[in-house]
Amino acid sequence: MKNMIDAITKFRDERGWKGNHDLKDLAISISLEANELLENFQWKSDQEALQSPDQNIKEEMADVFIYLLQMADKMNVDLEEEVFKKMKKNAIKYPVTK
Amino acid sequence: MKNMIDAITKFRDERGWKGNHDLKDLAISISLEANELLENFQWKSDQEALQSPDQNIKEEMADVFIYLLQMADKMNVDLEEEVFKKMKKNAIKYPVTK
Amino acid sequence: MKNMIDAITKFRDERGWKGNHDLKDLAISISLEANELLENFQWKSDQEALQSPDQNIKEEMADVFIYLLQMADKMNVDLEEEVFKKMKKNAIKYPVTK
Amino acid sequence: MKNMIDAITKFRDERGWKGNHDLKDLAISISLEANELLENFQWKSDQEALQSPDQNIKEEMADVFIYLLQMADKMNVDLEEEVFKKMKKNAIKYPVTK
């Protein structure tokens, strides 16, 4: 994911936006983009949502991910490591029932 | 990101949860987790939010990412490709001003 | 609030939208509108957010309220009664410290 | 709605919370509560969501409303007036088709 983070921080710094990007506003941005993604499913089943071209769905997913990567970079968080830690915790919380 | 997706789908399938995971509920889940992440910053500045251990912040970031990866997998979306496409679009929308 | 609910349900029924309005999609809609409201404060302090005319803020507040009233009507919930019940519960949870 | 607003501001002021309540954090709070409301419908149809007692749904609706009333009070917004204004705008945007 390093190459994505590099591209995103380069983009941000070229525009002089680094100063604005506090964690609170990045967290707000993740929620806003998550809801723009969700809007594609408002009043719709999956089948209905996928009848229109799914370009907007893909773009909103990218937007959520772009802000999440920025937040991870700013906090020095290794997202992949955190995912595996969380999966281990989930495995204990929700054991496989035979 | 392939190894994360493999771990997540294995976890889901071992618990028989595959059938529940429609896209609409995955999109809902991304919004829910984004807001649990945001809750860490409610009534707080970044400095205040980071005074408590940041474990919860990291876990909520992982949760957003886990659901996003599941949605991408289900839609056969390559998240990395979408990020670079979106960055190109953003670069045209927000040109660098000298 | 009766007159608002009457106006909203009349509006909905005249357009034949009653059938679409399940509770899950109303709950989704409340989250979407809450985030459109929140968008007015993204990357901004209160002072900066209020520098532009606050018409959009007011409209998004109205949108949150319109969906909340529809959900309350559909569930036969008296929102005012619920607010007072919740305030009582909050008063026990957060006692006044002298 | 005056009596609700009076009760809510009295509650807030007795606890010395007035200073914290900027508009940005109130907008964040509305999104957080909207998502706690939405959580009741995650992975569920309306019928499944209503099988458990609906007390939590009602409380989360009250929480959304309490923060919305606080924001309206702080901005000197008459929510009822805004709802009727928005309904008029919606009526023009979505005309009744015979």
pLDDT, tens digit (0-9, with 9 covering 90-100), for D66-86: 999 999 999 999 999 999 999
- Which of A27, A35, A49 has the CB atom closest to B24's CB atom? A49
pLDDT band at B98 (very low <50, low <70, confident <90, very high): low
Tokens 């209503």, located at residue: D50
Quick one: tokens of B1?
């990101």
The whole-number average pLDDT for the span A69-81 is: 95
Cβ atoms < 10 Å from Cβ of A9: 16
Exposure string for C11-46, b = 16+ CB within 10 A, e = fewer: bbeeeeeeeebbbbbbbbbbbbbbbbbbbbbbebeb
Does the structural domain C2-93 have CATH classification 3.40.640.10?
A: no
From the number of C-beta atoms within 10 Å of its C-beta (0-12, 13-18, 19+), residue A92 rates as exposed
Low-confidence ranges of chain D (pLDDT < 50): none
Task: Determine whether the interchain pair C62/D82 forms a contact, defined as Cβ–Cβ distance below 8 Å.
Answer: yes
Task: To the nearest 10°, report the CA torsion of C56, A40, A11, B40.
Answer: 70
Residues listed for chain C: 98
- Give the whole-angstrom CA distance, residue C77 versus residue C72: 5
Q: Is B44 left (phi over 0), alpha (psi -120 to 50) or beta?
A: beta
Predicted pLDDT at C98: 65
Chain B residues with beta carbon closer than 8 angstroms to that of A97: 15
What is the complex's ipTM, to 2 decimals? 0.94
Beta-carbon contacts of B34 under 8 Å, excluding residues fewer than 6 positions away, are A27, A30, A31, A34, A64, B64, D35
Predicted pLDDT at D24: 97
What are the pLDDT digits (tens) for A16-67? 988 778 999 999 999 999 999 999 999 999 999 999 889 999 999 999 999 9
- Which of C20, C29, C38 has the CB atom closest to A32's CB atom? C38
Alpha-carbon separation of residue A16 from A9, A20, B97, D57 (angstroms):
10, 9, 10, 44
Task: Determine whether the interchain pair A38/C31 forms a contact, defined as Cβ–Cβ distance below 8 Å.
Answer: yes
Evaluate whether D62 touches C83 at the Cβ level (below 8 Å): yes
Q: Which amino acid is at D73?
A: D
Tokens 């005056």, located at residue: D2
Low-confidence ranges of chain C (pLDDT < 50): none
Chain C residues with beta carbon closer than 8 angstroms to that of A42: 25, 28-29, 32
- Least confident residue range of A12-26, A32-46, A69-83, B71-85: A12-26
Q: Cα dihedral sign for A67, A70, A71, A72?
A: positive
Neighbours of chain A (3+ CB pairs under 8 A): B, C
Q: Least CA distance to D37: which residue of chain B?
A: B32
Cβ atoms < 10 Å from Cβ of D61: 27
More confident position, B28 or A19? B28
Task: Determine whether the interchain pair A15/B94 forms a contact, defined as Cβ–Cβ distance below 8 Å.
Answer: yes
Stretch 3-32 of chain B: residues touching chain A, C-beta under 8 Å: 4, 7-8, 11, 14-15, 22-24, 27-28, 30-31
Give the three-state DSSP class for B10: helix
Give the three-state DSSP class for A96: coil
Quick one: tokens of B8?
């997540």
D39 touches chain B (CB under 8 A): yes
Predicted pLDDT at B53: 83
Predicted pLDDT at A53: 83
Residue C1 has what DSSP assignment? Answer: -
Alpha helices in D1-98 (DSSP H): 2-14, 23-39, 46-49, 55-74, 79-93
Cβ atoms < 10 Å from Cβ of D80: 15
- Give the whole-angstrom CA distance, residue B15 versus residue A90: 11
Alpha-carbon separation of residue A65 from A8, A27, B72, C90, D2 (angstroms):
11, 12, 11, 36, 43
- Give the whole-angstrom CA distance, residue D98 versus residue D90: 17
Residue (of B45, B41, B72, B70) closest to B57 by Cα position: B41
